[in-house]
Amino acid sequence: MSSSYEWYPDKPYPDFTHLKPLQTQLSTQPSILTAEILFTFSSLLCLIHALLTSRSHVITWFSAIISGTANDIFFMILPMVDNFWHAQCTVMLTPRLPLYIPLAYARYGSVYAIRNGESGRGCKATYDKKIIYVSLHTCKLPRKIRRGPQAGPSPSPNPLMKYALKAQTVMFLPFRSARAPARGLTFQYVGVAASQRLQNASTLSKSAYAGLCSSIFYAAYDLVGAKFLWWSWHTTDAATVIRWCGVPVGSTMWTLVHVFVFTYILNCTVFNPAAASSSFTTSFIKGGAATAILTTPCMMIMMSPFQLHQLEIDFSSLTLTQLPGKPDITAISLVVATFGYLANKGLRTGVAPPRWPDKMLFATVLLHFATLTLVLAMFDPEAVTATGLHQTIGDCDTKDYDLSGYERRKYLCNKKKHSTFSNHNQYFSVCGKVKDVDWFTICGKGKVERRHLEGIAVLTLIGICLFRILVVSRKRTKKD
C-alpha cells in the first residue's frame, strides 16, 4: 500500500486528480478556493512592491522561495517530523502539494520522504525500548539517538539519509515546529519589508520586529485554515497537541523564530551597506545561498533555549531522560517577550517616511485580514468534506515515540468512540467508506464560535498596529 509519507506514491491514489473540478471544489471546500486566490494575488503584489522598492527587496522575495525549498528538503527527508497534510485544492502538483503553496509558502518539497522510522538504503538500524542505536554500515555514521518506533530498512533509495541523521543529532531535531515542511513567501516578505522601515534600528531589533509581524500575519491564516480543514495535523503529536483556537502553539512559535532568523541573515548579507557596492548577481547568490543553508539549522538552535524548562535529567546516572520538543505556552511567551523588547528598542530609533509602494503593501495586509475574517464569518465548517491524504488510520492502541521521547498514538483511531477528533476546537470526523488507510474523507465538526471571531479580531488589530509603520513615519526618540 502506498504510504502517505511519500510525495510520489508507488501506486497513484484512484481519487487523486491534478485539476479538481471547480463545481466539486465549491460543493466540498468552497472556502479553500478563497485561500488559493488570496495568496496567489498577495504574492504578486509583494513582487510588485519589491520591484518598486529596491533590489534588496527583490532578493528578499526570491530568497523566501529558495530558503523555503531548502527547508522543505531538509525536513521532509527526516523521519518522525511528518505531521501535517494539505487538503486537495483546485490545482494539485502532487497528492501532497497544492499549486498555491509554492506561491504562498515556497513549499516545493523533495522527491522522496522517508516513512516513519525508516532508514535509507544500505543502512541498518537496531532499536531497543529506550534508546535507538543507529548503526549505518554503509553510511558510516554511528549515532545514538533518543527512543523511537520499531522500524526496518526502507525499500526507497535515499542517499541524503546519512546527512539527515547527522543533522538530526547535531542540530537537535527535537526542537522542531508543528509545521516544519511549510515555509512562507508572502508572510516572510511582509515581515521583512515592514522591519526595513526602522531607520536606525539594530539587526536584532529589525529581525525581532519582522518575526512579530509575520507571526500575526500567519496566525490569522492558521486560525481560519484549521477550522475549515484546509489541512489536518497529527492528532496526538507533541509538536501539535497544545493549541489555541485549533492552532498548534508550535506553528506560531516556529513562525516567530523562523522569520527572525531569515531576516537576520538577510540584514547581514543583503541589506548591509557593504552589499550596496556588490553587483545584483553577487548579492542575489549571497543572499539566496545564505538563507537556504543557514535559516533552518539556526532556527532549530535558536528555539532550544526557550524550551529548556522541559529538559529532564537523571542525576544519578547523569543521563538525559527527556529532551525539549513540545512547544508550550511558556516557550512561546518567552519568545514573544524577548522579541517584543527588541522590537520596542527598534521603534525608538525612528521610522522612515512612507512611500506609495509601502502603502500598497499595507493595503495587501489589510486585504489578507479582511478576507480571512469574511471566510470565518460567512462559511460553515460543518459543510466541509476534505478527501485526501491524512494521518494513517490503524490500531487505536499502537503507541509511538517521537525523537524527543514523547509518546503519541501512531495511527488515527477510527472506532466510534474515537471517531471525532478535537484539539481545542478543531473538530473533524472520518466520514464515508474508507478505501485506503491514508487517503479518505474527513468532515468538519462544530460551528464557528465566538472565540474564533474574537481571535481573528484581536489578530487583525495587532496586525494593523504592527504593520502601521508601512504608512507612518516616526522621529527618533532614543540615541543608538
Q: Based on the structure, what is the number of domains in the chain?
A: 2
pTM, two decimals, is 0.79
**Could you report the per-residue pLDDT of 200-257, keeping only the tens digit for each?**
899 999 999 999 999 999 999 999 998 999 988 888 887 888 898 889 998 899 899 9
- Read off the pLDDT of each residue in 180-199 and give the average, rounded to a whole number: 78
- What is the per-residue pLDDT for 79? 54
Domain presence at residue 477:
no
Same domain, 267 and 286: yes
Same domain, 112 and 129: no
Strands 143-146 and 420-422: unpaired
Domain presence at residue 479:
no
Q: Are 437 and 1 in contact (CB under 8 A)?
A: yes
Same domain, 164 and 300: no
Burial string for 264-275 (b: 16+ CB within 10 Å, else e) reads bbbbbbbbeeeb
Nearest to 291 by CA among 313, 318, 259, 315: 259
Nearest to 471 by CA among 393, 369, 374, 357: 357
Quick check: 480 pLDDT over 70? no
Quick check: 10 pLDDT over 80? no
Domain presence at residue 221:
yes
Q: Which of 74-88, 292-306, 327-341 has the highest mean pLDDT?
A: 327-341
Backbone CA torsion sign across 365, 367, 372, 377: positive
Same domain, 70 and 130: no
The share of the chain scoring above pLDDT 70, in percent, equals 73
Domain presence at residue 478:
no
Who wins on pLDDT, 421 or 293? 293
Q: Which of 13-17, 286-290, 389-393, 438-442 has the highest mean pLDDT?
A: 286-290
Same domain, 138 and 247: no
- What is the per-residue pLDDT for 336? 97
Same domain, 234 and 212: yes
Domain presence at residue 400:
no
Alpha-carbon distance of 285 to 49, in angstroms, equals: 21
Phi–psi pair at 360, nearest 5 degrees:
-65, -40
- Read off the pLDDT of each residue in 268-280 and give the average, rounded to a whole number: 86
Same domain, 312 and 358: yes
Nearest to 232 by CA among 443, 46, 33: 443
Same domain, 81 and 141: no
Confidence of residue 374 (pLDDT cuts 50, 70, 90): very high
Same domain, 129 and 268: no
Who wins on pLDDT, 325 or 253? 253
Q: Which domain holds residue 147?
A: 124-170
- What is the per-residue pLDDT for 372? 96
Quick check: 373 pLDDT over 90? yes
- Read off the pLDDT of each residue in 437-442 and give the average, rounded to a whole number: 86
Same domain, 330 and 304: yes
DSSP state letters, 75-123? HHTSTT---EEEPP-SBEEETTEETHHHHHT-----S--PPTTPBPTT-
Alpha-carbon distance of 269 to 284, in angstroms, equals: 9
The three three-digit cell numbers of residue 297, written as one number: 539549522
Alpha-carbon distance of 40 to 99, in angstroms, equals: 9
- What is the per-residue pLDDT for 81? 63
**Could you report the per-residue pLDDT of 332-364, keeping only the tens digit for each?**
999 999 999 999 999 998 888 889 999 999 999
Nearest to 5 by CA among 459, 454, 341, 438: 438
Alpha-carbon distance of 229 to 387, in angstroms, equals: 10
Mean pLDDT of all residues belonging to the chain = 76
Domain presence at residue 14:
no
Same domain, 250 and 225: yes
Same domain, 300 and 370: yes
Q: Are 130 and 147 in contact (CB under 8 A)?
A: yes
Backbone CA torsion sign across 43, 240, 208, 70: negative
Domain presence at residue 418:
no
Domain presence at residue 273:
yes
